[in-house]
Amino acid sequence: MRVTFLGTGAAGGVPLYGCDCTACQRAHAHPAYVRRPCSALVETASTRVLLDAGLPDLHTRFAPGSLSAIVLTHYHPDHVQGLLHLRWGVGLKIPVIGPHDAEGCADLYKHPGVLDFQAADKFEPFEVGDLRFTPLPLIHSKPTFGYAVEDAQGHRFAYLTDTQGLPPKTMDWLQQWGRFEVALDCSFPPRPQARGHNDWPQAVSLVQELAAARGWLTHIGHELDAWHMATAAHLPAHIQIARDGLQRLVDDVAP
């Protein structure tokens, strides 16, 4: 199973429009530091699933028919805004699987076009090709799922964004899942009152509490990047800040 971080940014991304902090200046100067809307691609030889749809250029990135499904964590615009254009396609249907959310986003439900919206249930696995997804409730301002993804060989990857902390049942489920790698919301530098998202110490301690084999911090805000540039804060060797375009072959064999 190959995971590609297509976007690793918090809402607004990096550089943030109008900002000249050190992180935003760096991203203007060096495109490698740009952070786009948070999303990832999970692939096997026969299956290709897009995790979240906030990138505005989905229609040019993905040839028609090349996506097995789109799996959504939640319906905030920075995670679904790319669907507003993509839906107007013709000649195909794309399953779009996410949490039940009566609101959705804008008029997506009213005019779904080529999108086939389906609601998943918490802890009820569903399959897309040879990938199995288990929806795990997260803690956010809209109904939100993380996903535990497992391929046919038992390689395991958890994608947990957007969230602040983890519900006890989600923590329990993951702690009994065996060996896995995790991508986790880490929007903010250390702050006393983070809201809706993990800050750095919370994200780092969650990866450790999960006993994940590897951890990737994502959904990064410009303040976290600037803070990290200034402090070079230490991370355990198995935890890394993700970058747009980073690819990871999840090849740890399950115990």
Applying CB under 8 A, the residues found at the interface with a copy of itself are 11-13, 16-20, 37, 56-57, 59, 64-65, 76-78, 81, 84-86, 88-92, 105-107, 113-114
Spatial distance between the Cα atoms of 224 and 201, rounded to a whole number of angstroms:
11
117 or 133: whose CB is closer to a copy of itself? 117
Distance in Å, CB of 21 to a copy of itself, minimum:
9
Distance of CA 46 to the CA centre of its chain: 21
Distance in Å, CB of 65 to a copy of itself, minimum:
8
15 or 137: whose CB is closer to a copy of itself? 15
63 or 237: whose CB is closer to a copy of itself? 63
78 or 151: whose CB is closer to a copy of itself? 78
Per-residue burial over 143-174, b if 16 or more Cβ lie within 10 Å, else e, is bbbbbbbbbeeebbbbbbbbbbbbeeebeebb
Distance in Å, CB of 103 to a copy of itself, minimum:
9
195 or 238: whose CB is closer to a copy of itself? 195
2 or 59: whose CB is closer to a copy of itself? 59
β-pair type (39-43, 126-128): unpaired
17 or 249: whose CB is closer to a copy of itself? 17
Distance in Å, CB of 228 to a copy of itself, minimum:
19
What length does the chain have? 255
- HSE at residue 37, side-chain half, CA atoms within 13 A, is 19
Could you tell me if 155 and 188 are in contact, meaning their C-beta atoms sit under 8 angstroms apart? Answer: no
220 φ/ψ angles, rounded to the nearest 5 degrees: -85, 130
Nearest to 132 by CA among 116, 148, 145: 148
Using CA atoms, how far residue 220 sits from 120, 161, 171, 198, in Å, is: 27, 11, 22, 10
Distance in Å, CB of 33 to a copy of itself, minimum:
15
Could you tell me if 37 and 78 are in contact, meaning their C-beta atoms sit under 8 angstroms apart? Answer: yes
Distance in Å, CB of 138 to a copy of itself, minimum:
19
- Cβ neighbours around 58 below 10 Å, total: 21
Distance in Å, CB of 113 to a copy of itself, minimum:
8
